[in-house]
Structure formats: structure tokens, C-alpha cells
Structure 1
Amino acid sequence: MASRNNRALVPEAKAGLDKFKMESAAEVGVNLKNGYNGDLTAREAGSIGGNMVKKMVESYEQGLK
């Protein structure tokens, strides 16, 4: 059985990703707080992650131009 490892590959990036997540949550209108957010629905959590991926792809595409 494969073991799960929730360790960040680049620990120094954690603060930046947390800030990015909070900004994305604000943009999609989800009330995200520091710490535990188990009260979020799957749709709300997915919209935050989806918005983050969308912005990362847009940023990458801009870098290609």
C-alpha cells in the first residue's frame, strides 16, 4: 500500500501559497479563514482550487509570450 506524504516539496513556498489561496477565495466570494475550514462545501473548496489553477495557467502562458 502506498504511503501518503503531505509534506511540501518547497517549504519556503507555503506562506506564498497560503496568501494566494486567501486571495483566490476572496475573488470567488468564499469566506476562508486561517486554520481549519472543514465547514466549506466541496463546491466552495473546488472553486478556490479551480481559481488558483486558472491563475497559474494564465501566468505560465503569459511567460511563454
Structure 2
Amino acid sequence: MARSNQLVVPQATQALEQLKMEAAQTLGVQVPADGYYGNVSTRDAGSLGGYITKKLVQIAEQQLSGGLR
């Protein structure tokens, strides 16, 4: 099945992968060696998604406020 998600800024791929790894490490979620997250529990996947969303909102707020807090 082909992915329907496409990044608006393709250069963001590496930054998003780094954020995903940071989230997994912070939350204690085992990162699959093959990169396939289909076997990650629903709870862990939701935690990862929530953490990533929270971080992205923080980054956007910092950029909108014109600097670091």
C-alpha cells in the first residue's frame, strides 16, 4: 500500500525522524530495527504521536513568538 502522506517540505524528513527517535527514547518505546511501526502497541503509538505533536506545537509557538522561551 502506498503512503498517502506527503511532506510539504521534503527536507523535513530527517528532522521528523530525529523527533520520532527522541520521542521513543523519552517515552521508553522500543524503536523497531526495521523502521516498521506496525507492531507497536496502540498505546505506545498514541503516546509517540502525542509527544511529537506537543513538540511541534512548542516549536511553532517559539517561532511565532520570535525566539526561545
Is TM more than 0.5 here?
yes
Equivalent residue, structure 2, for 1:36: 36
Q: Which has the higher contact order (CA 8 A, sep 6+)?
A: 1
Shift of 1:46: 0.6
Shift of 1:37: 1.8
Shift of 1:18: 0.5
What is the CA–CA distance in structure 2 between the aligned matches of 1:8 and 1:62, rounded to whole Å?
21
Deviations 1:34-63, CA, capped at 9 Å, x for gaps: 521211011100101101111222333344
Equivalent residue, structure 2, for 1:24: 23
Matched residue pairs, number?
Answer: 62
What is the CA–CA distance in structure 1 between the aligned matches of 2:6 and 2:58, rounded to whole Å?
26
Return the TM-score normalized by structure 1: 0.75
Equivalent residue, structure 1, for 2:5: 6
RMSD: 1.9
Gaps of 5+ in 2: none
What is the CA–CA distance in structure 1 between the aligned matches of 2:55 and 2:22, rounded to whole Å?
11
Instruction: Look up the SS of the partner of 2:61 in the other structure.
Output: helix
